[in-house]
């Protein structure tokens, strides 16, 4: 009985290991293509508002998708750092190097998502400022 229990625990441990693999987080969310400010030219104010609000919702959905993705990366990093702390620096040097490389790779992925998010938000702000150049609605452009 104890043997079966130990075997079951070992199988569960092995099965859980892929859950900590880098693939667990899946691919990074892809930022939306925000229309250019020039896309608003010639459109009625109401149509401009629709374009801006659609872009706003796309930005918010993208940011919402980034949050759990980045959280997953952080969780994997924490697990790897804990594993490194439990290893012997001399005996497990190769393993530590491999784990450290995984952390560095995830950091690059995280940095790419930050760059992408920054670009998406900048593009949206440019679009919104272009819309506010002609829109006088205080709800859409409160700084007027």
* Alpha carbon distances (Å) from 62 to 28, 52, 69, 100, 134: 10, 15, 11, 29, 27
* Domain-located, residue 31: no
| Per-residue pLDDT, 89 | 87
* Domain-located, residue 105: yes
pTM assigned to the model: 0.78
* Domain-located, residue 59: yes
Distance CA 132, CA 5 (A): 67
| Per-residue pLDDT, 144 | 55
| Per-residue pLDDT, 119 | 97
* Domain-located, residue 123: yes
Domain limits for position 57:
43-138
The gap between the terminal CA atoms of the chain, to the nearest Å, is 75
* Domain-located, residue 16: no
For the stretch 96-143, pLDDT in tens is 999 999 999 999 999 999 999 999 999 999 999 999 999 888 888 887
Distance CA 45, CA 132 (A): 10
Mean pLDDT confidence for 46-71:
97
**What DSSP string describes 27-81?**
SPPPPP-PPPGGGGTT--HHHHHHHHHHHHHHHHHHHHHHHHHHHHHHHHHHHHH
For the stretch 4-22, pLDDT in tens is 333 333 333 333 333 344 4
> What total number of domains does the chain contain?
1
Q: In this model, does residue 58 exceed pLDDT 80?
A: yes
* Domain-located, residue 7: no
* Domain-located, residue 51: yes
| Per-residue pLDDT, 8 | 37
pLDDT higher for 24 or 117? Answer: 117
* Domain-located, residue 91: yes
| Per-residue pLDDT, 142 | 84
Q: What is the rounded average pLDDT for all residues in the chain?
A: 85
């Amino acid at each position: 009985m104890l043997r079966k229990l130990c075997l079951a625990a070992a199988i569960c441990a092995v099965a859980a290991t892929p859950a900590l693999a880098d693939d667990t987080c899946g691919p990074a969310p892809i930022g939306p293509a925000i229309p250019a400010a020039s896309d608003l030219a010639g459109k009625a104010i109401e149509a401009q508002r629709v374009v801006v609000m659609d872009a706003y919702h796309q930005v918010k959905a993208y940011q919402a998708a980034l949050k759990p993705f980045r959280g997953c990366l952080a969780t994997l990093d924490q697990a790897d750092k804990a594993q490194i702390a439990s290893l012997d620096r001399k005996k497990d040097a190769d393993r530590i190097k491999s784990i450290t490389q995984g952390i560095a790779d995830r950091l690059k992925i995280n940095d790419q998502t930050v760059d992408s998010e920054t670009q998406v938000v900048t593009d949206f702000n440019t679009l919104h400022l272009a819309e506010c150049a002609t829109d006088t609605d205080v709800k859409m452009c409160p700084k007027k």
